[in-house]
Protein backbone atom coordinates (compact mmCIF):
# COMPACT_ATOMS: atom_id res chain seq x y z
CA UNK A 1 0.00 0.00 0.00
CA UNK A 2 1.29 3.46 -0.87
CA UNK A 3 1.96 6.25 1.62
CA UNK A 4 -1.01 8.13 0.19
CA UNK A 5 -3.33 5.14 0.61
CA UNK A 6 -2.19 4.48 4.19
CA UNK A 7 -2.58 8.15 5.11
CA UNK A 8 -6.09 8.34 3.66
CA UNK A 9 -7.04 5.13 5.43
CA UNK A 10 -5.94 6.56 8.79
CA UNK A 11 -7.79 9.82 8.12
CA UNK A 12 -10.94 7.88 7.24
CA UNK A 13 -10.66 5.81 10.45
CA UNK A 14 -10.27 8.97 12.54
CA UNK A 15 -13.33 10.50 10.87
CA UNK A 16 -15.38 7.34 11.48
CA UNK A 17 -14.34 7.19 15.15
CA UNK A 18 -15.20 10.86 15.56
CA UNK A 19 -18.62 10.27 14.02
CA UNK A 20 -19.29 7.41 16.44
CA UNK A 21 -18.52 9.77 19.33
CA UNK A 22 -20.51 12.66 17.90
CA UNK A 23 -17.35 14.71 17.42
CA UNK A 24 -16.16 16.96 14.62
CA UNK A 25 -13.19 15.27 12.89
CA UNK A 26 -11.65 18.73 12.50
CA UNK A 27 -11.16 18.85 16.29
CA UNK A 28 -8.64 15.99 16.05
CA UNK A 29 -5.08 16.58 14.85
CA UNK A 30 -3.22 13.69 13.28
CA UNK A 31 0.44 13.80 14.31
CA UNK A 32 2.40 11.67 11.84
CA UNK A 33 5.13 10.00 13.88
CA UNK A 34 8.09 10.29 11.56
CA UNK A 35 10.84 8.86 13.79
CA UNK A 36 13.29 6.70 11.80
CA UNK A 37 11.86 8.04 8.53
CA UNK A 38 14.24 9.95 6.21
CA UNK A 39 13.55 13.56 5.33
CA UNK A 40 12.41 12.73 1.79
CA UNK A 41 9.56 10.66 3.24
CA UNK A 42 8.51 13.60 5.43
CA UNK A 43 8.46 15.77 2.32
CA UNK A 44 6.29 13.20 0.54
CA UNK A 45 3.89 13.25 3.48
CA UNK A 46 3.90 17.05 3.42
CA UNK A 47 3.00 16.98 -0.27
CA UNK A 48 0.04 14.76 0.67
CA UNK A 49 -1.19 17.34 3.17
CA UNK A 50 0.48 16.35 6.45
CA UNK A 51 1.36 19.39 8.56
CA UNK A 52 2.05 17.80 11.97
CA UNK A 53 5.04 15.53 12.54
CA UNK A 54 6.15 13.77 15.72
CA UNK A 55 9.72 12.90 16.65
CA UNK A 56 11.12 10.99 19.64
CA UNK A 57 14.84 11.73 19.77
CA UNK A 58 16.68 15.03 19.60
CA UNK A 59 19.75 13.48 17.99
CA UNK A 60 17.76 12.12 15.06
CA UNK A 61 15.40 15.06 14.77
CA UNK A 62 17.92 17.93 14.70
CA UNK A 63 19.47 17.30 11.25
CA UNK A 64 16.19 16.01 9.82
CA UNK A 65 14.19 19.06 10.87
CA UNK A 66 16.89 21.38 9.58
CA UNK A 67 16.88 19.63 6.19
CA UNK A 68 13.09 19.65 6.05
CA UNK A 69 12.89 23.35 6.81
CA UNK A 70 15.45 24.13 4.12
CA UNK A 71 13.31 22.25 1.60
CA UNK A 72 9.88 23.36 2.83
CA UNK A 73 9.41 26.97 3.87
CA UNK A 74 5.95 26.62 5.37
CA UNK A 75 5.27 28.09 8.82
CA UNK A 76 2.12 25.99 9.16
CA UNK A 77 4.22 22.83 9.70
CA UNK A 78 4.34 21.84 13.38
CA UNK A 79 7.01 19.55 14.82
CA UNK A 80 5.99 17.76 18.01
CA UNK A 81 8.43 16.27 20.53
CA UNK A 82 6.61 13.17 21.71
CA UNK A 83 9.47 11.18 23.28
CA UNK A 84 11.08 11.35 26.70
CA UNK A 85 13.12 14.53 27.14
CA UNK A 86 16.24 14.58 29.30
CA UNK A 87 16.63 17.86 31.19
CA UNK A 88 20.05 18.41 29.66
CA UNK A 89 18.45 18.41 26.20
CA UNK A 90 15.87 21.08 27.09
CA UNK A 91 17.74 23.82 25.23
CA UNK A 92 17.74 21.84 21.97
CA UNK A 93 14.12 20.81 22.36
CA UNK A 94 12.97 24.38 22.98
CA UNK A 95 14.85 25.52 19.87
CA UNK A 96 13.79 22.68 17.55
CA UNK A 97 10.18 21.88 18.35
CA UNK A 98 6.86 23.68 18.15
CA UNK A 99 5.14 21.62 20.87
CA UNK A 100 6.34 19.25 23.60
CA UNK A 101 3.98 16.46 24.65
CA UNK A 102 6.17 14.71 27.19
CA UNK A 103 6.89 17.04 30.11
CA UNK A 104 7.22 14.70 33.08
CA UNK A 105 8.88 16.72 35.86
CA UNK A 106 8.94 20.18 37.39
CA UNK A 107 12.67 20.32 36.66
CA UNK A 108 12.09 19.76 32.94
CA UNK A 109 9.28 22.29 32.93
CA UNK A 110 11.55 24.93 34.45
CA UNK A 111 14.46 24.20 32.12
CA UNK A 112 12.23 24.31 29.05
CA UNK A 113 10.88 27.65 30.27
CA UNK A 114 14.40 29.02 30.63
CA UNK A 115 15.31 28.22 27.04
CA UNK A 116 11.88 28.92 25.57
CA UNK A 117 12.30 32.52 26.72
CA UNK A 118 14.43 32.96 23.58
CA UNK A 119 11.46 32.12 21.37
CA UNK A 120 9.18 34.78 19.87
CA UNK A 121 6.12 33.19 21.48
CA UNK A 122 5.39 30.75 24.34
CA UNK A 123 6.19 27.08 23.75
CA UNK A 124 3.04 24.90 24.05
CA UNK A 125 3.56 21.95 26.38
CA UNK A 126 1.57 19.00 27.69
CA UNK A 127 2.12 17.20 30.98
CA UNK A 128 2.70 13.48 30.53
CA UNK A 129 0.69 11.38 32.97
CA UNK A 130 1.36 7.72 33.73
CA UNK A 131 -2.26 6.61 34.00
CA UNK A 132 -1.60 2.87 33.81
CA UNK A 133 0.94 2.88 36.64
CA UNK A 134 3.46 0.82 34.66
CA UNK A 135 6.97 1.22 36.03
CA UNK A 136 8.37 1.25 32.48
CA UNK A 137 6.47 4.39 31.54
CA UNK A 138 7.42 8.01 32.07
CA UNK A 139 5.05 10.65 33.35
CA UNK A 140 3.50 11.97 36.53
CA UNK A 141 2.11 9.10 38.58
CA UNK A 142 -1.61 9.62 39.12
CA UNK A 143 -1.27 8.02 42.55
CA UNK A 144 1.11 10.83 43.60
CA UNK A 145 -0.96 13.87 42.80
CA UNK A 146 1.26 16.30 44.73
CA UNK A 147 3.92 16.13 42.00
CA UNK A 148 1.38 16.81 39.26
CA UNK A 149 -0.14 19.67 41.25
CA UNK A 150 3.33 21.17 41.76
CA UNK A 151 3.96 21.06 38.01
CA UNK A 152 0.65 22.76 37.26
CA UNK A 153 1.41 25.45 39.83
CA UNK A 154 4.86 25.99 38.30
CA UNK A 155 3.45 26.11 34.78
CA UNK A 156 1.00 28.82 35.76
CA UNK A 157 3.93 31.14 36.55
CA UNK A 158 6.15 30.39 33.53
CA UNK A 159 5.32 32.94 30.85
CA UNK A 160 7.58 31.40 28.20
CA UNK A 161 5.50 28.19 28.23
CA UNK A 162 1.82 27.54 27.56
CA UNK A 163 0.41 24.52 29.35
CA UNK A 164 -2.64 23.40 27.40
CA UNK A 165 -3.28 19.75 28.15
CA UNK A 166 -2.21 16.25 29.08
CA UNK A 167 -0.58 13.31 27.34
CA UNK A 168 -0.41 9.60 28.12
CA UNK A 169 0.93 6.34 26.74
CA UNK A 170 -1.48 3.44 26.98
CA UNK A 171 -0.13 -0.02 27.82
CA UNK A 172 0.50 -2.46 24.99
CA UNK A 173 -2.63 -4.62 24.89
CA UNK A 174 -3.99 -7.41 22.75
CA UNK A 175 -7.21 -5.53 21.92
CA UNK A 176 -7.67 -1.76 21.50
CA UNK A 177 -10.71 -1.83 23.80
CA UNK A 178 -8.41 -2.73 26.68
CA UNK A 179 -6.85 0.74 26.40
CA UNK A 180 -10.18 2.54 26.77
CA UNK A 181 -10.06 2.85 30.60
CA UNK A 182 -6.67 4.60 30.35
CA UNK A 183 -7.94 7.14 27.82
CA UNK A 184 -11.15 7.66 29.77
CA UNK A 185 -9.17 8.26 32.97
CA UNK A 186 -6.96 10.87 31.30
CA UNK A 187 -9.99 12.72 29.99
CA UNK A 188 -11.59 12.65 33.46
CA UNK A 189 -8.37 13.97 35.00
CA UNK A 190 -8.21 16.77 32.42
CA UNK A 191 -11.82 17.71 33.11
CA UNK A 192 -11.18 17.79 36.86
CA UNK A 193 -8.07 19.95 36.45
CA UNK A 194 -9.89 22.31 34.12
CA UNK A 195 -12.52 22.88 36.79
CA UNK A 196 -9.92 23.47 39.48
CA UNK A 197 -7.53 25.55 37.35
CA UNK A 198 -9.74 27.43 34.89
CA UNK A 199 -7.07 30.06 34.26
CA UNK A 200 -5.03 27.52 32.27
CA UNK A 201 -5.96 26.18 28.84
CA UNK A 202 -6.81 22.47 28.95
CA UNK A 203 -7.55 22.11 25.26
CA UNK A 204 -5.57 19.01 24.38
CA UNK A 205 -5.49 15.32 25.15
CA UNK A 206 -2.58 13.61 23.40
CA UNK A 207 -3.42 9.92 23.41
CA UNK A 208 -3.73 7.09 20.95
CA UNK A 209 -1.22 5.46 18.61
CA UNK A 210 -1.38 3.09 15.66
CA UNK A 211 -2.95 0.19 17.57
CA UNK A 212 -5.55 2.14 19.55
CA UNK A 213 -6.12 5.62 18.09
CA UNK A 214 -9.75 5.00 17.20
CA UNK A 215 -10.62 4.21 20.82
CA UNK A 216 -8.65 7.30 21.89
CA UNK A 217 -10.67 9.47 19.50
CA UNK A 218 -13.91 8.05 20.89
CA UNK A 219 -12.69 9.01 24.38
CA UNK A 220 -11.78 12.59 23.50
CA UNK A 221 -8.27 12.65 22.04
CA UNK A 222 -7.42 15.89 20.23
CA UNK A 223 -3.90 14.80 19.22
CA UNK A 224 -3.29 11.24 17.99
CA UNK A 225 0.27 10.04 17.39
CA UNK A 226 0.28 7.60 14.48
CA UNK A 227 3.43 6.27 12.83
CA UNK A 228 3.33 2.69 11.58
CA UNK A 229 -0.18 2.92 10.12
CA UNK A 230 0.99 5.84 7.96
CA UNK A 231 4.62 5.08 7.16
CA UNK A 232 4.67 1.31 7.40
CA UNK A 233 7.14 -0.63 9.50
CA UNK A 234 10.04 1.33 10.97
CA UNK A 235 13.14 1.80 8.89
CA UNK A 236 15.55 1.43 11.81
Give pLDDT, residue 234.
Answer: 64
What Å distances lie between residue 70 and 43, 63, 66, CA to CA? 11, 11, 6
pTM of the model as a whole? 0.95
Enumerate the domain spans of the chain.
3-231
Among 208, 144, 142, which Cα is nearest to 170's? Answer: 208
- pLDDT, residue 123, reads 98
CATH number at 3-231:
3.20.20.10
pLDDT digits (tens, 9 = 90+) for 175-208: 999 999 999 999 999 999 999 988 888 999 999 9
Residue 132 has a pLDDT of: 86
- Give SS3 for 99: strand
**pLDDT at residue number 235:** 52
Backbone CA torsion sign across 226, 229, 235, 236: positive
Contact between 63 and 32 (Cβ < 8 Å): no
Write the DSSP symbol of residue 177: G
Could you give phi then psi for residue 207, rounded to 5 degrees?
-160, 150
Residue stretches of the chain with pLDDT short of 70: 234-236
pLDDT of residue 176: 92
- Residue 1, Cβ density class (10 Å: 0-12 exposed, 13-18 middle, ≥19 buried): exposed
Amino acid sequence: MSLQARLHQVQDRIAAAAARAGRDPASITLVAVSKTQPVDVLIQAYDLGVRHFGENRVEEAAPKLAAFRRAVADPSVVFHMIGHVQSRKADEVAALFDRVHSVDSVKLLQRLARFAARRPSPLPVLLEVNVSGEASKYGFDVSRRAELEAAIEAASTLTSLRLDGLMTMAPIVAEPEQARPVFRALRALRDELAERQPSLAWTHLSMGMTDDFEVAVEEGATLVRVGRAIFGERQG
